[in-house]
Amino acid sequence: MTRGRNNWTCEDDHKLRVLYKLYQEQPNLWQIISHGFPKQNSKACRERWIFHADPEINHLPFTYDERQYILSRVNQPGATDWVAIAEEISHPHARRTALQCKNFVNNRQRRIDSEFGRLLDKYKKSGDRMNLGFILN
């Protein structure tokens, strides 16, 4: 039976934490937990835990050192090994997820691309093609 997509609430996250503590030793943990969420399947419960609800996840913005490390790794071979990057910048009881690292890089690139496009549009409208001729040709 496939369950429909449903947004998670703070109450759902709390309930997920409680159920995880109760059943964490069970072999079919996520299937058991999913019975407590009529609109979520076991995969959705597991992913919610791994990427958001686990209390050991650090939800604060990345520190300067974390940002610098992630960006230095992006320019190396195997740069998209987000799991390895997340493990390398994580601390005990302050874990970063692979999804957080990937989203940081993708959102940063999106902002850069957007800013570049905005500047390019500004120069196109001004008619000043001499300074950006190498881009516009």
> In tens digits, what is the pLDDT along the chain, a chain of 137 residues?
344 456 899 999 999 999 999 999 999 999 999 999 999 999 999 999 999 999 999 999 999 999 999 999 988 876 778 999 999 998 887 899 999 999 999 999 888 888 887 877 777 777 665 555 555 44
How is residue 53 written in tokens?
A: 């609800």
Number of residues assigned to the chain:
137
Question: Which residue is listed with tokens 């040709």?
Answer: 137
3-class DSSP state of 95 = strand
Name the residue among 106, 96, 99 with its Cα closest to residue 71: 106
The Cα–Cα gap between 65 and 89 comes to: 9
- The angle at the Cα of 103, spanning 100 to 109, to the nearest 5 degrees, equals 145
- Residue ranges in the chain assigned as alpha helix (H): 10-23, 29-34, 42-48, 64-74, 82-89, 98-126, 133-136
Q: What is the pLDDT of residue 127?
A: 67
Phi/psi at 128 (5° precision): -85, 85
Q: What is the pLDDT of residue 54?
A: 94
Name the residue among 67, 56, 52, 53 with its Cα closest to residue 99: 52
Q: What is the pLDDT of residue 3?
A: 44
